[in-house]
């Protein structure tokens, strides 16, 4: 059984050597891959000298790096971790065991159950993590402890079926929603988190990347649960129409006259729009069910490909 450790890397010359050597010690049988994403420092050279298999990804952004990793590398277990040495490697063996035993298609390295909020000095990042976690758990009826962690494990089936659309750091959120929506097996393990060492700078922008993550959650909620999403939109429009229509109707009952004709026309138009939106949701719901059926067939093909690779090895 082959395990691959995947390390996206952008300007991490201060920490990349330690990350590689720690994983070589913890998982000596694993192949360590570092994908350098246009670093302007010595990250590429240091990673290569540390014994990693180093490749370049010229399209900027973590999502682009992970896309290339999943396409290029065949393994039974993938363990992805950031190159900034903020995650302890002690949980790697447990992550590997869960994936190789078939108990998980995605293993989440849960930072938030440990000392994350003490170690992470960026106050708004803590708030953002809590907000995103709560939003996804409510919208997708889950109970996950950490949504945006950078340390995860994946099965072959997940890696080869995951259609990556995010280009940057919102990919962690996209992975989680993809797993929940497609009924993949998810497990969580606690991982040690420590803040970056002095001189190592985060690539995240609190406000810009936070807005991207929230926008992604909304768009994926619309795409994965269209009937619910468009039903909510319909309900909101009907409430707005009712607010404007009821005073006109009450006045008609008491006087026998219809006043504020333009307002009545506007309310009627909103009702028509609401009905159209609702039936759009119904149509998209049917299309989504058909897509899920095709996706299950695709997963069967992925499983067949995996067996062929195992027989070849």
Pick the closest to residue 87 from 71, 106, 111, 67 (CA basis). Answer: 111
pLDDT in tens, 273-294: 999 999 999 999 999 888 888 8
Model confidence, pTM: 0.81
Full DSSP string of 228-278: HHHHHHHHHHHHHHHHHHHHHHHHHHHHS----HHHHHHHHHHHHHHHHHH
Domain ranges within the chain, ordered by starting residue: 3-224, 226-312
* Torsion, CA 261, CA 266, CA 267, CA 271, rounded to 10: 140
Cβ atoms of 62 and 168 within 8 Å: the answer is: yes
Pick the closest to residue 114 from 32, 194, 15, 39 (CA basis). Answer: 194
pLDDT along the chain (313 residues), means of 10: 94 95 96 96 95 95 94 96 92 96 95 63 66 87 90 96 85 92 94 81 68 82 91 96 92 84 91 95 92 85 81 74
Alpha helices in the chain (DSSP H): 16-26, 43-49, 62-72, 92-100, 116-119, 123-139, 156-161, 171-181, 206-224, 226-255, 261-312
Burial class (CB in 10 A: 0-12, 13-18, 19+), 107: buried
Q: How far from chain centre, in Å, is Cα 173? A: 2
State the pLDDT at residue 260: 85
Strands 31-36 and 3-9: parallel
State the pLDDT at residue 72: 95
Separation between Cα atoms, residue 220 and residue 203, nearest integer Å: 24
Determine how many CB atoms are found less than 10 A away from the CB of residue 265.
10
Instruction: Give me the residues paired with residue 151 across strands.
Output: none
State the pLDDT at residue 135: 87
Backbone angles phi, psi at 8, to 5 degrees: -65, 140
Separation between Cα atoms, residue 39 and residue 56, nearest integer Å: 9
Separation between Cα atoms, residue 2 and residue 23, nearest integer Å: 15
Cβ atoms of 166 and 174 within 8 Å: the answer is: yes
3-224: CATH topology is: Spore Coat Polysaccharide Biosynthesis Protein SpsA; Chain A (3.90.550)
Cβ atoms of 104 and 76 within 8 Å: the answer is: no
């Amino acid at each position: 059984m082959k395990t691959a450790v995947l390390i996206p890397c952008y300007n991490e010359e201060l920490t990349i050597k330690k990350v590689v050597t720690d994983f070589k010690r913890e998982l000596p049988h694993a192949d360590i891959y570092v994908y350098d994403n246009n670093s302007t420092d010595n990250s590429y050279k240091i990673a290569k000298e540390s014994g990693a298999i180093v490749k370049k990804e010229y399209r900027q952004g973590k999502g682009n790096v992970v896309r290339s990793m999943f396409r290029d590398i065949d393994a039974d277990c993938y363990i992805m971790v950031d190159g900034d040495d903020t995650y302890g490697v002690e949980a790697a063996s447990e992550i590997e065991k869960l994936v190789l035993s078939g108990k998980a298609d995605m293993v989440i390295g849960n930072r938030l159950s440990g000392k994350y909020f003490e170690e992470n000095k960026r106050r708004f990042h803590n708030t953002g993590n809590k907000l995103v976690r709560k939003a996804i758990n409510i919208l997708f009826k889950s109970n996950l402890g950490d949504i945006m962690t950078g340390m995860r494990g994946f099965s072959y089936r997940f890696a080869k079926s995951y259609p990556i659309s995010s280009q940057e750091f919102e990919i962690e959120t996209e992975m989680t929603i993809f797993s929940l929506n497609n009924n993949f097996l998810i497990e969580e393990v606690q991982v040690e988190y420590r803040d970056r060492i002095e001189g190592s700078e985060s690539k995240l922008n609190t406000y810009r990347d936070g807005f991207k993550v929230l926008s992604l959650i909304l768009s994926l909620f619309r795409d994965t649960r269209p009937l619910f999403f468009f039903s909510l939109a319909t309900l909101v429009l009907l409430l707005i129409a009712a607010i404007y229509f009821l005073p006109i109707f009450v006045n008609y009952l008491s006087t026998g006259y219809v006043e504020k004709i333009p307002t009545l026309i506007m309310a009627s138009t909103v009702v028509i729009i609401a009905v159209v939106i609702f039936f759009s949701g119904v149509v998209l719901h049917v299309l989504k069910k058909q897509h899920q059926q095709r996706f299950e067939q695709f997963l069967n093909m992925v499983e067949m490909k995996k067996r062929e690779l195992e027989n070849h090895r």
